[in-house]
Structure 1
């Protein structure tokens, strides 16, 4: 948890971009309830009540909600991409600066591919967890709250029946979350080994060609890549 809070300070450097991203995500999510509501009103107030004069306003309402949703979604994507690139730059810059200050003996026990994985892949993973994870989590929670509230407002019994599989979904999500950490470590170790081998082979490609070792190195690369 301490590591998360240490990395979380990078988000505090751009509070207005973060607030704008979350605001656009929330506003675009709120438009989700407009389309089902417009459909309900068309069926009840236009078709059943035989009131064609109400059709055009409802269509305009649905079209306006569709436009507002996509405008805020486009703004969210622009702000989110800007936010991501700035945070990635800060993370990589600070990480590279820290690596340069480490003593030489630290590099003796570290493969070059492992360092490349830390600077490139690990930074991207941390950024996705902090920015995309928070944003998508807020949007998902908001969608669930809005939809469940509307469902219970319209029909309590039908809402309870619809939420019957919900405990199974929670159990599946918890199972995946609790086991994902181990799988990610295995994937990261395999990626680090492949990057280390690729770096060594490209740096020593003259020696490989001199000793005609292309076939053997290709087989070794395939074994590491298939882990």
Structure 2
């Protein structure tokens, strides 16, 4: 059970680091270029592969749950929430399916990272520098674009409130969940998957920490000159 908790803690840390990383990159680009428009387009090009996977995940999940999906857009632009790197038109639906569609990039992205690193490590660490770079780039792209935006999670609050109301009603009418034994619910092989996954998730975490440290080192002199 410890590795299950560690797995989700690492995902949360990756979420925080991805936000810091994208802000640091956009800050540095804007500082150098002095143009919001150019900064947005460079960010769009830099994260385009990850953005494509993100939006295609929304599209595929929408089709899977029988919700009409329209045109996929990869042209970056600014909106009231900040930089928007891409979008896909999704028809209005119930909160449950909306949330499933919203978290699709997170599910697809996590799976892609783990599968990529699993097959890479299966035959040992590759010696080819280009192969290492390609794997690192895939992990970097997916790891920093797979998290759902505020708009992606529209309907999540309504769904949580509905589940809370149902839970309260069940509690007051005397229906209780049985005691759960983690070893029974999560067999050894499932726990082993989380153990392996938590080890693999260290890779995108280390990549992000390294890039953020590098960016901070580059940005720091600009701050000193400005002060």
- TM-score, with normalisation over the residues of structure 2? 0.28
Q: TM-score, length-normalised on structure 1?
A: 0.28
